[in-house]
Amino acid sequence: MSKVLVAYFSHSGKTRKVANMIASELQADCFEIEPIREYPDDESQCIEVARVEYNGNVRPALRGGLPDMDQYDTLVIGFPNWHDTCPMAVLTFLEGYDLTGKTVYPFVTHEGSGPDGSNKNMQKACKGADVKPARDGNRLEAKDVKSWIA
C-alpha cells in the first residue's frame, strides 16, 4: 500500500479518536491540525467564532511543524462538521499543499448533518487530487478501515 498520512482537526476530541483509530489500523503517521488562535471551549462561543470565519471565508493561521506532504501519496483528512462543511482551518491546511496526483479520503464527525456538506469544499481545496466522497466518521469502525483506504 502507498504511504498514508492521517491529518485531522478536532475541537472536542471526537474526530481525534477516530483519526487515531484509522492511523493505528493503517499503521500510518497521524498529524493534528492546530490553529494558532484556539477556538473557545464553550460550544456557543465556538459556533459564533466559526460562523464569523465561515462568513468571511477566513483561513486561520496554523501552528508550524506541518508535515512534508511529498512523503505521502494518500491523505486521510478528518474534521467535525461545522455549519455543514469543514472548519476553515482545514482549508488553510489543504490549500497549503500541491496535492496533485494524491488520493484524499475525507471523514467527518457530526451531530446529525452527515458528511456530505463538505464534498464541494474538499474538491476545491485539493486541486489535482483524486478526492473520494466524505465518509461518515460517526459510523466508521476499525474493521472497515482497510477496505475503505484500499
Ligand X SMILES: Cc1cc2nc3c(=O)[nH]c(=O)nc-3n(C[C@H](O)[C@H](O)[C@H](O)COP(=O)(O)O)c2cc1C
Cα 33 from Cα 88, distance rounded (Å): 11
Least distance to ligand X, CB of residue 103, Å? 23
- Examine residue 24 and tell whether it contacts ligand X (CB under 6 A): no
Q: Which of residues 108-127 bind ligand X (CB under 6 A)?
A: 109-113
Question: E strands of the chain, at which residues?
Answer: 4-8, 29-32, 74-80, 103-109, 130-131, 135-136
Nearer to ligand X, 29 or 113 (CB): 113
In the DSSP assignment, the letter for residue 35 is B
Whole-angstrom distance, CA of residue 13 vs CA of residue 18:
9
CB 9 within 8 A of CB 87: yes
**What distance in Å separates the CA atoms of residue 9 and residue 96, rounded to the nearest whole number?**
15
For residues 13 and 128, which CB has a smaller minimum distance to ligand X in the complex?
13
List 73, 84, 116, 136, residue binding ligand X (CB under 6 A): 84
Among 53, 60, 72, 81, binds ligand X (CB under 6 A): 81
Amino acid identity of 103?
A: T
15 lines the binding site for ligand X (CB under 6 A)? yes
Segment lying near ligand X (by CB under 6 A), choices 12-20, 67-75, 90-98, 127-135: 12-20
Which residues touch 9 (CB under 8 Å, ≥6 apart)? 15, 32, 33, 34, 78, 79, 80, 86, 87, 89, 90, 93
Least distance to ligand X, CB of residue 107, Å:
11
Residue 132 found at the interface with ligand X (CB under 6 A): no
In this chain, which of 1, 12, 38, 52 binds ligand X, going by CB under 6 A? 12
What is the binding site for ligand X (CB under 6 A)? Answer: 10-16, 43, 46-47, 50, 80-84, 109-113
